[in-house]
Amino acid sequence: MSKQFDVVVIGGGPGGYIAAIRAAQLGFNTACIDEWKNGQGGPAPGGTCTNVGCIPSKALLQSSEHFEHAGHSFADHGIALSNLSMDIGKMLGRKNTVVKQNNDGILYLFKKNKVAFFHGRGSFVKATEGGDYEIAVAGTAAETLQARHVILATGSNARALPGAAFDEERILSNDGALRLGSVPKTLGVIGSGVIGLEMGSVWRRLGAQVTVLEALPTFLGAVDEQIAKEAHKIFSKQGLKIELGVKIDKVEAGSAGVSVAYQNAKGEAQTLAVDKLIVSIGRVPNTIGLNAEAVGLQLDERGAIAVDGDCKTNLPNVWAVGDAVRGPMLAHKAEEEGVAVAERIAGQHGHVDFNTIPWVIYTSPEIAWVGQTEQQLKTSGRAYKAGTFPFLANGRARALGDTTGMVKFLADAATDEILGVHIIGPMASELISEAVVAMSFKASAEDIARICHAHPSLSEATKEAALAVDKRTLNF
Ligand code: FAD
Ligand code: NAI
């Protein structure tokens, strides 16, 4: 006998669990199926984000940043430390506790919102004659669910280099990179994207010699060029060795470590020998185990679930969100799509504005942006004005002892509408929210320039960058 629901969500990451909660709030009898297992084989909802992504990476970034501060900048504050040491086991234990708190939090939210949770793999069995979908759950207990609406939120997996499968011992995906039991003396990173820079920073701060090999000739190509150049300079000074324009030929793991044969930007053959290698060259949408063929679910050429602008698949009443579909692979993008889909099922007009999705790279300094980069505006021929303000001239940044970076505004030359905001500097992840709000309300740079910002605060740099658009900064 199958269990009947209005909405079944497959996948309990940020896209899926948020969609399930919103659907339940809207009065639908909702189930969420997720197969992630914790170390004891029990449920661990939250997906990549909670288990091997956003949350554990930020926990380790925090621990390693404390360690770096203790070793390098505490002395400036008059704090003397001797015999500074790092207990990696304890750091990982803390990270695991943070992850578990988030897993448990989601299970609590399911109960609170009366979402039925099923731990196991969900796969399509068939579309019924009555217009429902039958979904099998293969888990601790086998179940069959039936629902009118299905939301697919099956996430993504790390992309491996051809011929160099992840063993999570020497060749690491994000998963292995987050649970190294000791600091490797030498660490290689392939791909200088978000994961490469965040995880490379963690292990560099803890003492590893880190070399990053990147295929593209430009560093952080999606980031505003001026910000990316600044980032490259700062990360190199911190000790990350970044080689651009490389071509990886062969990766071999042995008992002594990993050897990477590659060609440098000049086409010269090189070998990098490292203790551990993180491969962070992007992620692939995941549809493994869904049994998409049983119902004729269409995938696109990248293997993502094909959807339209409203997250509708080719099948009636089947929707898909998050990393499994087109668009940026970000937790908050997945969440917004989950909410929008639940609202569309309820006949409402859920909407996700891709132009105001913020990006953050949680390095130190952090990099955050929203909207268009200067190079995108140039390419599109849009007339714009730019204004920048350095943290060096911000009182709070001086008091914090962190004056690296800047805030940069890009606004339409005629209307002054904000087209993009780019930040590299302390707490950029928090500062970017003001820009997201401003752009969502179609504010002008002058609107931000005329708003009272608390003193002393880092947000004054945002106000000053907005003033700089009109060439009238007050403190620089
Ligand atoms: P996922 O989180 O991948 O969840 C999918 C879930 O579905 C998983 O639990 C999976 O087990 C389950 N599942 C799949 N198939 C089935 C099935 N057939 N049956 C049952 N269950 C199934 N994004 C940010 O915005 N900020 C960050 O700081 C950030 N940091 C990151 C750091 C790292 C190291 C990584 C790898 C990613 C990071 N991301 C970050 C990206 C973010 O994790 C993803 O964009 C986000 O998790 C996508 O959410 P999702 O719900 O689409 O998929
Ligand atoms: P990425 O797309 O950010 O970066 C991959 C990098 O690898 C690119 O610079 C690319 O040019 C390079 N590359 C690709 N193939 C290569 C090859 N063969 N040799 C050398 N370099 C190669 O992907 P990443 O870092 O794996 O992260 C995946 C996704 O996870 C991100 O795009 C992002 O959506 C998400 N994420 C988000 C975070 C955040 O929001 N703070 C943190 C971590 C991940």
The runs of H, that is alpha helices, within 158-304 are 174-177, 194-205, 225-238
Distance 356 CA to ligand 2 centre (A): 21
Say what the pLDDT of residue 344 is.
98
38, 49 Cβ separation under 8 angstroms: no
Check if 217 has its Cβ closer than 6 Å to any atom of ligand 2.
no
**Three-state DSSP class for 419?**
strand
- Residue 136, both tokens: 């099998």
- Residue 217, both tokens: 């000739």
The runs of H, that is alpha helices, within 26-177 are 47-52, 54-72, 88-112, 174-177
Distance 281 CA to ligand 2 centre (A): 5
Give the Cβ contact number of residue 342 at 10 Å. Answer: 28
Residue nearest to atom 27 of ligand 1 (CA): 54
**Mind listing the pLDDT tens digit of every residue in the chain (476 residues)?**
799 999 999 999 999 999 999 999 999 999 999 999 999 999 999 999 999 999 999 999 999 999 999 999 999 999 999 999 999 999 999 999 999 999 999 999 999 999 999 999 999 999 999 999 999 999 877 899 999 999 999 999 999 999 999 999 999 999 999 999 999 999 999 999 999 999 999 999 999 999 999 999 999 999 999 999 999 999 999 999 999 999 999 999 999 899 999 999 999 999 999 999 999 999 999 999 999 999 999 999 999 999 999 999 999 999 999 999 999 999 999 999 999 999 999 999 999 999 999 999 999 999 999 999 999 999 999 999 999 999 999 999 999 999 999 999 999 999 999 999 999 999 999 999 999 999 999 999 999 999 999 999 999 999 999 999 999 999 99
Beta strands, E only, 296-455: 318-320, 359-361, 366-371, 384-390, 406-412, 418-425
**Three-state DSSP class for 216?**
coil
Residue nearest to atom 12 of ligand 2 (CA): 191
Say what the pLDDT of residue 141 is.
75
**Three-state DSSP class for 133?**
strand
**Sign of the torsion angle spanned by Cα atoms 121, 125, 126, 131:** negative
Pocket test for ligand 1, best of 50, 51, 54 (most atoms within 8 A of CB): 54
CA 334 to chain centre: 10
Distance 215 CA to ligand 2 centre (A): 11
Check if 281 has its Cβ closer than 6 Å to any atom of ligand 2.
yes
Q: Which atom of ligand 1 is nearest to the CA of 45?
A: 9
Residue nearest to atom 53 of ligand 1 (CA): 155
Distance 329 CA to ligand 1 centre (A): 8
Residues 6+ apart with CB under 8 A from 237: none
Pocket of ligand 1 (CB under 6 A): 10-16, 33-36, 47-49, 53-54, 57, 121-123, 153-156, 174, 195, 286, 289-290, 322-324, 329-332, 334, 362
Residues 6+ apart with CB under 8 A from 85: none
Ligand nearest to the CA of 362: 2
Pocket test for ligand 2, best of 51, 195, 423 (most atoms within 8 A of CB): 195
Distance 446 CA to ligand 2 centre (A): 35
Say what the pLDDT of residue 1 is.
76
Say what the pLDDT of residue 96 is.
98
Check if 464 has its Cβ closer than 6 Å to any atom of ligand 2.
no
Pocket test for ligand 2, best of 194, 240, 429, 430 (most atoms within 8 A of CB): 194
Distance 468 CA to ligand 2 centre (A): 33
Check if 213 has its Cβ closer than 6 Å to any atom of ligand 2.
yes
**Sign of the torsion angle spanned by Cα atoms 160, 331, 314, 297:** positive
Q: Could you say which of 72, 77, 332, 455 is catalytic?
A: 455
* Beta strands across the sheet bearing 257-263: 247-254, 257-263, 269-274
Helices (H) and strands (E) in the chain, counts: 13, 21
Beta strands, E only, 224-376: 241-243, 247-254, 257-263, 269-274, 276-279, 283-285, 318-320, 359-361, 366-371
The runs of H, that is alpha helices, within 383-458 are 395-400, 428-440, 445-449
Say what the pLDDT of residue 139 is.
82
Q: Which domains does the chain have, with CATH numbers?
A: 3-158+284-352 (3.50.50.60), 171-276 (3.50.50.60), 356-469 (3.30.390.30)
Check if 426 has its Cβ closer than 6 Å to any atom of ligand 2.
no
Ligand nearest to the CA of 59: 1
Q: How far apart are the first and last CA of the chain?
A: 71
State yes or no: is 232 an active-site residue: no
